[in-house]
Amino acid sequence: MRKLFVALMAVLLSVQMAVAAGVEHKVAIHVDQSDPKVQNMALNNAMNITKYYESQGDTVVIEMVAYGPGLTMLIPGKSKVGDRISKMALELDKITFSACGNTHRKMSAKAGKDIKLMSEAVITPSGVVRLIQLQEQGYAYIRP
């Protein structure tokens, strides 16, 4: 009986240690508006989520997906939140800013030249498809 009790306590201790090590959460944030208020809200959501989970001993992986008019948040000279994005990219090592390749191609064609994106941006073929992929991988979906 004593051996069973010791074994049970060892299992409970290992489970408790695994929980104490923290959980990794995954969040996809959707931005499809050029409104700086909406873009700032998306960035605020990312910071608030990160602060909350870090205060719980957890980590969070965030991917912000911008497409359509929301892509302006990742275009130097057009972005009203560019400084915040650059700062957040330095502060948060688990944040990604994904730019829709479809939107980028259309904007570039309309402008007659390649539209440059911020160095923090990573082009994904399709913003909508990327959001689907992230949700299929277990990411929580947030739309500010």
77: in domain: yes
Q: How many domains does the chain have?
A: 1
Give the model confidence (pLDDT) of 86-131 as tens digits. 999 999 999 999 999 999 999 999 999 999 999 999 999 999 999 9
**Would you say residue 17 lies in a domain?**
no
The CATH number covering residue 75 comes to 3.40.1260.10
Is residue 8 situated within a structural domain? Answer: no
Residue 5 forms part of a structural domain: no
Q: Which of 126, 137, 134, 143 is nearest to 30 (CA)?
A: 143
- Using CA atoms, how far apart are residues 68 and 112, in angstroms rounded to an integer? 18
The pLDDT assigned to 13 comes to 57
The H or E element that residue 144 is part of is none
Q: What is the pLDDT of residue 7?
A: 52
Give the list of residues 6+ apart from residue 35 with CB closer than 8 angstroms, or none. Answer: none
| Amino acid 2: pLDDT | 65
Confidence of residue 1 (pLDDT cuts 50, 70, 90): low
The boundaries of the domain holding residue 46 are: 23-142
SS3 32: coil
Residue 63 lies in a domain: yes
Would you say residue 141 has pLDDT above 60?
A: yes
Has residue 4 got a pLDDT over 80? Answer: no
Cα–Cα distance, 56 to 54 (Å, whole number): 5
Convert the pLDDT of each residue in 34-91 to its tens digit: 999 999 999 999 999 999 999 999 999 999 999 999 999 999 999 999 999 999 999 9
Higher pLDDT, 107 or 15: 107
Tell me if 130 is assigned to some domain: yes
Q: What is the pLDDT of residue 16?
A: 55
